[in-house]
Each structure stands twice: as structure tokens, then as C-alpha cells.
């Protein structure tokens, strides 16, 4: 059993989810060839460092993240810090020879993602596009790959979250640095489309910022200020939408919002082909809508429930329709990344996939400025 020393930077929402996931791998993946060991954790907030050591069992903690990337007993650095810090952390970790898993979108801008990719060429990289790992999405990808939907004709992707819908939501780092909802939410929707429907050739799009100021405060993006609090400007987009043409000729549309009222965490897609269609929505993670063209007059969309017959589901719950949850996807993601590292093989999704998304993002942002269709140029 190979020991894999894990060093984690940024012990917030996702940092804690990855830490719990690494701890759960032993109990869920009996056939593994590695044991993740929580070696070092860094966060800028001392109380979080203490929590990481006390409650999660990290051997060491530090407020200076360099102590994680420089540690000889760390093999894998997991980066779950705010986006604007990703690049310097990746450069330092890769220079120290560590394999790097970075949360999406890998950097605060398309340029930074490209630089991160080239800095980490000699190590194994992974990126936190966790929805790829949903068991029913793996099944959906298999159906598409096997031609069960025929030729793909249409794709609709969306990610609507309400985390910013309250104007009293505090001005956390998500509203103050780099790009907004295109990096935070639309990246997931397009990454999934890349996996399911292939590359995007051209786009025409628009962006908007609906809530231009927010209360100052140190909370996460779910934190709330008070009506009289001092305010600061939101520097990036709350909303983005685009029409696209895929390289395979299919047409599609994408939308993402963090301020729209109604859908609470609707990371969803519908894909249509000449012989069938599929639909999935994170709000109903354990259900896949499947339509197959048949001669049966009673045909239509059917609901396929998650169950142990789909990849990895049975590790968390046996049988059928005994649901799994959001953090289980992170656990699958961490297992798969560690398995790639332990066997020395390239991993997917990698920083190359992060670059594929930012090429689309660049075209979208260019189109929002020019008002015209823009080609997706490789970066
Ligand atoms: N894959 C997903 O579904 C998903 C979901 C949420 C967030 N994310 C990504 O995860 C990353 C973190 O997001 P989050 O929601 O967990 O944010 P968060 O604000 O909850 O956590 C970020 C943590 O980083 C710490 N930090 C800030 N500066 C630091 C520094 N210099 N050194 C060490 N730690 C520092 C903060 O104190 C905080 O604890 C982002 O890149 C985000 O895009 C991915």
C-alpha cells in the first residue's frame, strides 16, 4: 500500500470537503493501492488551522502555505484557496515536484489558467470539476459514447445558484477578485458539456452585474451583512449566457447566475440526439431523465434512479434509489485523483481541461464586449 502524503491549502468549504473525503477513502475503496495520509494543512485563519489538526487529524498546520508545498512528506497538494491565490500556489507546488489537485477554475483569469497549466506540465494535475463523477453522469456519458442517443443535435447547460441573490450577501472574495459567475458556476456547466458533447467551436454571449454593491464582511459567499453596513463594489459578473455551436455541429445554450431568484442549486443539462435525450439536475442528483425513441405509443421520458449498478454508487449506499450526496462526488473525485497519482498515469480532468474551459470563457467575454459571434481559439 503506497502512502500518499496529502497537503491541503485553504480549509474553507471545499478544503474541509476534500479533507473529509481523503479520510473516508480507506473505508470506501477497499481495492485501493494507496493510503492518503493527512500531513499538513494551511489556512490564513489560525482557528481553522487548529480545527484541521484537532478535528481532522492533520499531523501539522500552518498559516503560511509555503510550509505545505515545501514539506518533504507531502506528495499531493490540494489547493482550495480563493481563485486569485491558485497560480502562485500551483507554481510553488509544481516546482517542489508535488502533484497538484486544484479546485476549479484554476486561477483568477484565463491567462492564469494557461500559466498554471504550463507550470505544472511535469507533475500529475487534477481539477475540481466534481460533477463529472456523479454516477448517473458516468452512465449518461456511456450512453452517449455508445451511440444510444444517435447524433447529438442540441445541448442546454445551466448553473443557477442563489448564493448571491440577497443584496445583503457579503462582499466575499467571489465578488471582489478575478472573474465572477463565469469562473464560479458556468465553468462547471461547460466542463460537463465538454465531457458529454465535445468541444465548442463558436459562441455569442452576454454578461451582467445585477447587484453592484454589497456589505463589507469576512463571511463566505453564504454570509449575510446588515442593512446599515458599509458597502463595496462588486467587480465581476453575476450572470452570463451564451449560444454555442459545437464542433460536431450540435447547437447549444448555456446560462449561469448567482443572483436569480428561484433555482437554488440548479447545475443541470439537457442533451438531445436523433434517437434519444437525457436530462440531469444537481437538485435531483439521484435521478436521470432518459428518453429513447421507440415505436411504443406510451414512450416518453423515464426516470432512472441512482443505484449500486452505476459507477461507485454502491460504495456509499447499496441497492437502488438509496441516494448519495454532494460530498460523495468529492470523495469519488479524490479517490480517482489519488489513484492516478499512485499509478503514475495522467489524470482527467486535468489542468488541460481547465484550459479548454477558459478558451470558451475568453470567447464568451470577448463576445460580450463586441456583441458578435466569436471563435473559440485554443489557448
Ligand atoms: N467544485 C466545487 O463544486 C466547488 C464548490 C465551491 C468552491 N469551489 C472552489 O474551491 C475554492 C475555495 O472555495 P470555497 O467555497 O471553499 O471558499 P471558502 O471561502 O469557503 O474557503 C477558502 C479558504 O481559503 C482560506 N485562505 C484565504 N487566503 C489563504 C492563504 N493565503 N493561505 C491559506 N488559506 C487561505 C480562507 O481562510 C478560507 O478558509 C475556490 O477555488 C472555488 O472556486 C469548488
* Å from CA of 285 to ligand 1 middle: 23
Q: What is the pLDDT of residues 8-20, one digit of tens each?
A: 999 999 999 999 9
Query: Distance between the two ends of the chain, CA-based, in angstroms?
Result: 39
Q: How far is CA 179 from CA 9, 68, 174, in A?
A: 21, 27, 8
The mean per-residue pLDDT over the stretch 136-159 comes to 98
* Å from CA of 220 to ligand 1 middle: 9
Q: What is the pLDDT of residues 78-120, one digit of tens each?
A: 999 999 999 999 999 999 999 999 999 999 999 999 999 999 9
C-alpha cell at position 93: 507546488
Beta pairing class for 99-102 and 125-127: parallel
Predicted confidence at residue 218, as pLDDT, reads 77
Q: What is the pLDDT of residues 324-357, one digit of tens each?
A: 999 999 999 999 999 999 999 999 999 999 999 9
* Å from CA of 102 to ligand 1 middle: 10
Q: For residue 121, is pLDDT > 90?
A: yes
Q: What are residue 4's phi and psi, to 5 degrees?
A: -115, 110
Statement: 132-370 belongs to CATH 3.30.930.10: no
The closest residue, in CA terms, to atom 11 on ligand 1 is 80
Angle of helix 351-370 relative to helix 187-197, nearest 10 degrees, comes to 110
Identify whether the C-beta of residue 357 lies closer than 8 Å to the C-beta of residue 48.
Answer: no
Identify whether the C-beta of residue 220 lies closer than 8 Å to the C-beta of residue 172.
Answer: yes
Pocket test for ligand 1, best of 51, 69, 79, 80 (most atoms within 8 A of CB): 80
Atom of ligand 1 nearest to the CA of 183: 43
Q: For residue 123, is pLDDT > 80?
A: yes
Q: What is the pLDDT of residues 164-176, one digit of tens each?
A: 999 999 999 999 9
Atom of ligand 1 nearest to the CA of 326: 3
Predicted confidence at residue 293, as pLDDT, reads 97
Predicted confidence at residue 77, as pLDDT, reads 99
For the chain, which residues make up each domain, given as ranges?
Answer: 2-131, 132-370
Beta pairing class for 200-208 and 374-375: antiparallel
The closest residue, in CA terms, to atom 33 on ligand 1 is 43
Local confidence band at 182 (pLDDT 50, 70, 90 cut-offs): very high
Identify whether the C-beta of residue 241 lies closer than 8 Å to the C-beta of residue 208.
Answer: no
Q: For residue 219, is pLDDT > 90?
A: no
The closest residue, in CA terms, to atom 31 on ligand 1 is 44
Predicted confidence at residue 307, as pLDDT, reads 98
* Å from CA of 222 to ligand 1 middle: 13
Atom of ligand 1 nearest to the CA of 129: 1
The mean per-residue pLDDT over the stretch 344-372 comes to 98
* Å from CA of 308 to ligand 1 middle: 32
* Å from CA of 42 to ligand 1 middle: 11
* Å from CA of 379 to ligand 1 middle: 26
Q: In terms of Cα–Cα distance, which of 79, 76, 90, 83 is closest to 105?
A: 83
The closest residue, in CA terms, to atom 21 on ligand 1 is 12
Ligand 1 pocket by C-beta < 6 Å: which residues?
A: 9-15, 42-45, 48, 65, 80-83, 85, 103-104, 128, 130, 184, 220
Angle of helix 187-197 relative to helix 135-145, nearest 10 degrees, comes to 40
Which CATH number is 2-131's, of 1.10.287.610, 3.40.50.720, 3.65.10.10, 3.40.50.620?
3.40.50.720
Q: 86-106 b/e with 16+ CB inside 10 Å = b?
A: bbbbbbbbbebebbbbbbbbb
Pocket test for ligand 1, best of 64, 82, 181 (most atoms within 8 A of CB): 82
Pocket test for ligand 1, best of 101, 103, 129, 175 (most atoms within 8 A of CB): 103
Predicted confidence at residue 217, as pLDDT, reads 84
Q: For residue 221, is pLDDT > 90?
A: no
Amino acid at each position: 500500500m503506497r502512502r500518499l502524503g496529502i497537503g491541503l491549502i485553504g480549509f474553507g468549504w471545499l478544503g474541509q470537503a476534500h479533507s473529509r473525503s481523503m479520510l473516508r477513502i480507506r473505508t470506501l475503496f477497499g481495492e485501493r493501492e494507496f493510503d492518503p495520509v493527512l500531513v499538513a494543512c494551511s489556512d490564513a485563519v489560525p482557528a481553522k488551522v487548529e480545527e484541521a489538526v484537532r478535528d481532522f487529524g492533520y499531523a501539522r498546520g500552518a498559516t503560511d502555505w509555503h510550509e505545505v508545498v515545501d514539506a518533504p512528506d507531502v506528495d499531493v497538494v490540494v489547493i482550495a484557496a480563493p481563485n486569485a491565490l491558485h497560480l502562485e500556489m500551483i507554481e510553488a507546488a509544481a516546482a517542489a515536484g508535488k502533484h497538484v489537485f486544484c479546485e476549479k477554475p484554476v486561477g483568477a483569469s484565463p491567462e492564469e489558467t494557461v500559466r498554471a497549466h504550463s507550470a505544472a506540465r511535469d507533475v500529475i494535475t487534477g481539477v475540481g470539476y466534481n460533477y463529472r463523477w456523479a454516477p448517473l453522469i458516468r452512465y449518461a456519458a456511456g450512453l452517449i459514447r455508445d451511440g444510444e442517443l444517435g447524433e447529438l443535435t442540441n445541448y442546454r447547460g445551466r448553473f443557477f445558484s442563489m448564493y448571491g441573490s440577497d443584496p445583503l450577501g457579503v462582499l466575499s472574495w467571489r465578488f471582489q477578485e478575478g472573474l465572477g459567475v463565469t469562473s464560479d458556476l458556468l465553468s462547471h456547466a461547460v466542463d460537463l458539456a465538454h465531457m458529454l458533447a465535445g468541444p465548442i467551436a463558436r459562441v455569442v454571449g452576454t454578461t451582467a452585474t445585477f447587484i453592484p454593491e454589497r456589505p463589507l464582511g469576512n463571511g463566505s459567499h453564504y454570509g449575510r451583512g446588515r442593512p446599515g453596513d458599509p458597502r463595496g463594489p462588486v467587480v465581476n459578473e453575476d450572470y452570463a449566457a451564451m449560444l454555442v455551436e459545437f464542433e460536431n455541429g450540435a447547437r447549444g445554450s448555456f446560462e449561469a447566475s448567482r443572483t436569480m431568484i428561484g433555482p437554488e442549486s440548479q447545475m443541470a443539462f439537457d442533451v438531445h440526439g436523433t434517437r434519444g435525450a437525457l436530462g440531469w439536475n444537481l437538485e435531483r442528483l439521484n435521478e436521470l431523465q432518459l428518453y429513447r425513441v421507440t415505436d411504443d405509443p406510451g414512450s416518453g421520458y423515464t426516470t432512472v434512479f441512482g443505484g449500486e449498478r452505476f459507477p461507485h454508487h454502491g460504495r456509499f449506499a447499496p441497492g437502488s434509489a438509496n441516494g448519495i450526496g454532494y460530498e460523495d462526488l468529492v470523495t469519488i473525485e479524490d479517490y480517482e485523483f489519488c489513484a492516478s497519482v499512485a499509478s503514475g498515469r495522467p489524470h482527467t480532468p486535468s489542468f488541460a481541461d481547465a484550459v479548454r474551459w477558459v478558451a470558451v470563457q475568453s470567447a464568451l467575454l470577448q463576445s460580450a464586449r463586441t456583441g458578435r459571434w466569436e471563435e473559440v481559439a485554443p489557448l
